[in-house]
Chains A and B, each alone.
With several copies, the nearest count.
Chain A
């Protein structure tokens, strides 16, 4: 069961994870983007962590607040994508105070769809979608989430980007992991850890 406190814990863990990997995220983005992904995510999750001390009535209310915060703090491409994912998840969670694996997966799937819709993107374009979409398609309760996520992140390395800034590099975008896929795996791993 994912409780409100569990979700808060997941977001705190995500913040720590982002902070630890800030330079890696930035370096990956420097290689095939504009070198700000770590900075953007760190600014966003910093802001998220500061809204976690407030009380929330439901997973929906918390998710909505997180989505609005990310939307207004991250900027760049990642901001509206992560932001709208959480806003969409909020709709699925609704008034629920806790979510079982099935509800959580459904909410995340809605989030993933919202990323694809907002980003006009699909699987195979070397973006965060390459983590969200296949992960949620295959994941079962009790799986080794971290391992699955790591593999999906790793798979982006060999892809050629056709969305986002990395697409400017064409063939040269091959050989570097997509930064957004790494930040996505940090976030998803932190959330999945709390549902078991």
Chain B
């Protein structure tokens, strides 16, 4: 395991410092905690949007902080949900007096820590609600599904709704609409390595790959012999097509962090070809690293069925470095 880091326990705070130093026009930092907020502070009257989770998913979530998307991102230790006190700082930094919506990926840890923070914030007189994203179709039981790359669409669309002046209830409603329709599935040919322990998330030999991975170095739900990306795309799409009907969709081919962009575009080439042949219209397309898992080599495909409202929010301006519009 080789990491380009200093002291592993300082990784997250050094990363956050680096981000804020590099982009002071976009980012501020809540003093003393690993919480990134907007450089210009909470916007008075606007519903605040907070997301976060473990670190290691960059550009998620700090990359989505900026005018038109999130107001704060809470950066936990690598692959470890942030604690309630940290999330509370994020909520305070995002609060513009009109309530705060938390966008939470569906993991026991994240849900519990964000809920605890919401309770603390309510105690401080801040109106808080939350939406849970569970888009990973690799898990068959819907309640247990993980929140993965589809979360970025929730950020973008809810962010644009909040920026347009919608109320907390309205922003929550559109966020839930996205969350309930978006579907993703991922795979990897190489694992990622945990910075503190130095260990890979799983061991794979040269001829194997993992299908249905999570974004925390977890093994997939199935291990298979490696194959052309053409067939891998067939495999992932066969699951996604069961839950998203043909029609107008936004598609995202998301890199897991260690995947060359060339491979993502080759992958996208096959995704587009197959989806169009199956009657889908790719109305919006996103190819790149959006929700990663350190240096994992792999990708995920996300589909979001679109209507007018979601499309216009997707297209709305955004100053977030990870989703410039």
Contact = CB atoms under 8 A, between A and B. Distances in A.
User: In the complex, are there CB atoms of A and B closer than 8 Å?
Assistant: yes
Interface of A: 23, 26-27, 30, 33-36, 38-40, 43, 71-81, 84, 118-119, 162-165, 167-170, 172
Contacts of B54: 75-76
24 contacts: A30-B199, A30-B201, A33-B218, A34-B216, A35-B79, A35-B201, A36-B77, A36-B194, A39-B80, A40-B77, A43-B77, A72-B83, A74-B83, A75-B77, A75-B80, A75-B81, A75-B109, A76-B81, A77-B107, A78-B109, A81-B112, A119-B108, A163-B108, A168-B146
Interface string B102-117: 0000011100110010
A50 to B, nearest CB: 15
Which secondary structure dominates chain B's binding surface?
Answer: loop
Contacts of B86: 72
Contacts of B199: 26-27, 30, 35
Contacts of B205: none
B144 interface: yes
Which secondary structure dominates chain A's binding surface?
Answer: helix
B217 A168 contact: no
Interface in B78-98: 78-86
Interface of B: 9, 54, 76-86, 107-109, 112-113, 116, 138-139, 141, 144, 146, 194, 196-197, 199, 201-202, 214, 216-219, 221
Contacts of B116: 71, 80, 84
A75 B34 CA distance: 13
Given A35-B217, A39-B197, A71-B116, A164 B108 contact: yes
A80 B108 CA distance: 10
A80 B113 contact: yes
A34 B201 contact: yes
Contacts of A71: 83-85, 116
A168 B112 contact: no
Contacts of A81: 112
Given A43-B77, A77-B81, 20 more contacts: A26-B199, A30-B194, A35-B197, A36-B80, A36-B194, A36-B196, A39-B77, A39-B196, A72-B85, A75-B77, A75-B81, A80-B84, A80-B109, A165-B218, A167-B139, A168-B138, A168-B218, A169-B218, A170-B221, A172-B221
